[in-house]
Chains A and B, each alone.
Chain A
Amino acid sequence: MTTGSGFLGRNFVAKLAIVAVMVLALLFVLFPVYWMIITSLKLPREIFRVPSLWPQVFTQSNYRSLIEDKDFLIAIRNSFIVASSVTLISLVVASLAAYSMVRFHYRFKGLIGRLILFAYLTPTSLLFIPLSILIARLQLGNTLHGLILVYLTFSLPVSTWMLQAYFAAVPRELEEQGMIDGLTRLGALFRIVLPLSAPGLAAVAIFTFTGAWNELLLALVLITSESRRTAPLALNYLITSDVLPWGPLMAGAVLSSLPLMLLYFVAQRFVVQGMTAGSVKG
């Protein structure tokens, strides 16, 4: 990390301008988050009648109505089941593929690599119609299994792509040494490459989990029964109803972002590394 290299120079006016921009940027970034949190803590009558920057009364009623009337914890649980299954499956399957592509030379390797990138960039908006037909044919419509299966369409390519970058950084000699000491190829992968790529695995796990946690379009198309809704789906149906439940909606927003925010702030270093290693190399 280089600090203060700068093309900007060091004069006073420039510094003042920088501080002003920083303040504006922070306001822009933080105000929506602030508004989400205080709206979730305001009484409905206050939201609609006395707009203010600070609640007159703090209330948990939005959270209570969301959890008790709308069964939101079931949606959170469904999201957890789907996102962790997708993460687990992707990590295992993508590790094998990424290892193969980094360590061996064979025909079609370039082609497979290109297909993985293509798949990574193929948007869900193009796939949701045929996928919903496919899932219906597989009798997996309206199930969490079906959702897990289709989420692999975006989690596998990005995981494989990112893991390749991490595995390539593990020195071949370490593996060879391990294999002389009696490890098999798979043993070398599990005992040497994976542990050394732990930060990469963490980053990939976070990305995959986030992707599955956030997905709305496929869930909207595939899930029809209320008890199988994921968190984004449950909140989506809150706004398409006639009443405008801003309080409970923002309570749901806070509850759905908490797990991810925690994950990010604990593992921020890995996330930033992974982001730059996987999608765009610096």
Chain B
Amino acid sequence: MRQQRSAAGEPRLSADAQQQLFAYCLVLPVALLLVGLVGYPLFYAIYVSFTNLVVGGAGDWVGLANFRYLAGSPVFSSAVWNTIVLVLVSDGLKLAIGLGLALIVNERIPARGVFRSLLMLPWAMPAFVAFLTWRVLYQPIGGGINLVLTKTGLYPEIVDWLGQRSTAMPAVIVASVWRGFPFWFISILAALQNISTELYEAARIDGANAWQRFRAVTWPGIKRVVVITTLLSSIWTANSFESVWLLTQGGPSDATMVFPVLAYFGMQTQRIGEAAAVSVALLPALLVLVFVTTSLMQSDED
């Protein structure tokens, strides 16, 4: 097309420039869609968080008023605290379980393939299905956990796991670990399988014990994957809405309230400015995580 036009007398584009143009054209749809659907909304959310926008009304600039209001609200403090606890504890457990099981599956064990597939099961299930199932499991009436605990005599009393402040957060954490650990497991396993057997043999000949072999051979081989997975998973956990929404909706009395659920509630009350401020408040911490993660992942590309 371009060549025909240049035959009509226009200055002819060099082959290199043509190729550049072509390259830009290919990447343009994604770039435009992402600017329109991610970039613009992101900045719009930041703008809205400084206004008193309500549904059906125009918002006025209110400066930091929304954030000042949040800083003084007890629900917001619980959301901050709960999000931190949820991320640290559940991602710590996902790492421990994922790493442990990956090390086991990397050994010469019976029924390895089947075992690996079964461990992936929670991850293959839709997240909403997983959390709805755990909601049923935790019920005092009709729930499987109380049944198993009372039948086996491990704990004799029926517990309303999601209904009391002391057990609600641990219950959310267990469900979120169940759903999330396979991602860690499979990522770490893939890294383990790239470590050469010879390194282990060499370490063994040198008389290294299991812990020394782990420190000298295994850990260097999986460190990078563990770091990236930790960052990714922290971002996902801090922002996961389904887990808390479907299990407890932030209750009982805000014991499991987290950022995304609080923002959603804010939106339901139609005070958009405040709701936006809730999610924007998380942004500084998130940006740091995202920046570190993208740098690591991009340097990984080459």
- Would you list which residues of chain A between 68 and 114 have a CB under 8 Å from chain B? 93-94, 96-97, 99-101, 103-104, 106, 110, 112-114
Assess whether A282 is in contact with B187, with CB atoms less than 8 Å apart. Answer: yes
Evaluate whether A235 and B132 lie within 8 angstroms (CB atoms) in the complex, with A6-B106, A127-B42 already known: yes
User: Is residue B161 within 8 Å, beta carbon to beta carbon, of the partner chain?
Assistant: no
Interface string of A35-66 (1 = CB under 8 A from B): 11001000000011001110000000000000
Contact among A21, A101, A132 with B27 in the assembled complex (CB-CB below 8 Å): A101
User: What is the distance, in angstroms, from B98's C-beta to the closest C-beta of chain A?
Assistant: 11
Give the docked Cα–Cα distance between A51 and B109 (Å): 36
User: Is residue A67 within 8 Å, beta carbon to beta carbon, of the partner chain?
Assistant: no
Q: Look across to chain A and name the residue whose beta carbon is closest to the beta carbon of B179.
A: A32
Assess whether A235 is in contact with B128, with CB atoms less than 8 Å apart. Answer: yes
Give the docked Cα–Cα distance between A2 and B267 (Å): 52
Give the docked Cα–Cα distance between A31 and B146 (Å): 13
- Would you list which residues of chain A between 228 and 282 have a CB under 8 Å from chain B? 231-232, 235-236, 239, 244, 246, 249-250, 253, 256-257, 260-261, 264-265, 268, 272, 275-276, 279-282
Interface string of A149-181 (1 = CB under 8 A from B): 110110011001000100000000000000000
Q: Look across to chain A and name the residue whose beta carbon is closest to the beta carbon of B245.
A: A216
Note all chain B residues with C-beta closer than 8 A to A272: 120, 186, 190
User: Is residue B257 within 8 Å, beta carbon to beta carbon, of the partner chain?
Assistant: no
Assess whether B200 is in contact with A7, with CB atoms less than 8 Å apart. Answer: yes
Evaluate whether A2 and B20 lie within 8 angstroms (CB atoms) in the complex, with A26-B118, A130-B48, A152-B33 already known: no
- Would you list which residues of chain A between 1 and 45 have a CB under 8 Å from chain B? 1-9, 18, 21-22, 25-26, 28-33, 35-36, 39
Give the docked Cα–Cα distance between A216 and B31 (Å): 25
Note all chain A residues with C-beta closer than 8 A to B148: 31
User: Is residue A198 within 8 Å, beta carbon to beta carbon, of the partner chain?
Assistant: no
Interface string of A114-132 (1 = CB under 8 A from B): 1111110111111111111
Assess whether A210 is in contact with B104, with CB atoms less than 8 Å apart. Answer: no
Give the docked Cα–Cα distance between A113 and B298 (Å): 8
Binds A, one of B2-10, B67-75, B279-287: B279-287
Give the docked Cα–Cα distance between A244 and B124 (Å): 26
Assess whether A112 is in contact with B19, with CB atoms less than 8 Å apart. Answer: no
Assess whether B246 is in contact with A236, with CB atoms less than 8 Å apart. Answer: yes
Q: Look across to chain A and name the residue whose beta carbon is closest to the beta carbon of B35.
A: A115
Evaluate whether A32 and B42 lie within 8 angstroms (CB atoms) in the complex, with A253-B133, A257-B125 already known: no
Assess whether B31 is in contact with A112, with CB atoms less than 8 Å apart. Answer: yes
Assess whether B241 is in contact with A51, with CB atoms less than 8 Å apart. Answer: no
Assess whether B38 is in contact with A246, with CB atoms less than 8 Å apart. Answer: no
Note all chain B residues with C-beta closer than 8 A to A133: 44, 48, 272
Evaluate whether A100 and B26 lie within 8 angstroms (CB atoms) in the complex, with A33-B121, A268-B120 already known: yes
User: What is the distance, in angstroms, from B301's C-beta to the closest C-beta of chain A?
Assistant: 8
User: What is the distance, in angstroms, from A161's C-beta to the closest C-beta of chain B?
Assistant: 8
User: Is residue B167 within 8 Å, beta carbon to beta carbon, of the partner chain?
Assistant: no
Chief secondary structure at chain B's binding surface: helix
Assess whether A119 is in contact with B117, with CB atoms less than 8 Å apart. Answer: no
Q: Look across to chain A and name the residue whose beta carbon is closest to the beta carbon of B122.
A: A29
Give the docked Cα–Cα distance between A8 and B97 (Å): 16
Evaluate whether A1 and B147 lie within 8 angstroms (CB atoms) in the complex, with A117-B297, A126-B279, A275-B183 already known: no
Assess whether A35 is in contact with B263, with CB atoms less than 8 Å apart. Answer: no
Assess whether B136 is in contact with A250, with CB atoms less than 8 Å apart. Answer: yes
User: Is residue A143 within 8 Å, beta carbon to beta carbon, of the partner chain?
Assistant: no
| A residues at B contact (CB < 8 Å) | 1-9, 18, 21-22, 25-26, 28-33, 35-36, 39, 47-48, 51-53, 93-94, 96-97, 99-101, 103-104, 106, 110, 112-119, 121-134, 149-150, 152-153, 156-157, 160, 164, 185, 210, 213-214, 216-217, 220-221, 231-232, 235-236, 239, 244, 246, 249-250, 253, 256-257, 260-261, 264-265, 268, 272, 275-276, 279-282
Show 23 A/B contacts (Cβ-Cβ < 8 Å), sorted by A: A7-B103, A7-B200, A51-B147, A96-B27, A104-B20, A115-B34, A118-B290, A123-B238, A123-B239, A125-B282, A126-B239, A126-B279, A133-B48, A153-B38, A214-B126, A216-B127, A216-B128, A217-B241, A217-B264, A221-B267, A250-B133, A272-B190, A281-B225
* Given A29-B118, A149-B37, A244-B139, 6 more pairs with CB closer than 8 A: A4-B108, A35-B136, A47-B142, A117-B297, A235-B132, A256-B128
| B residues at A contact (CB < 8 Å) | 19-20, 22-27, 29-31, 33-34, 37-42, 44-45, 48, 97, 100-101, 103-104, 106-109, 112, 115, 117-122, 124-130, 132-137, 139, 141-144, 146-148, 151, 178, 183, 186-187, 190-191, 193-197, 200, 203, 210, 213-214, 217-218, 225, 228-229, 232, 235-236, 238-242, 245-246, 259-260, 263-264, 267, 272, 275-276, 279-280, 282-283, 286, 289-290, 293-294, 297-298, 300-301
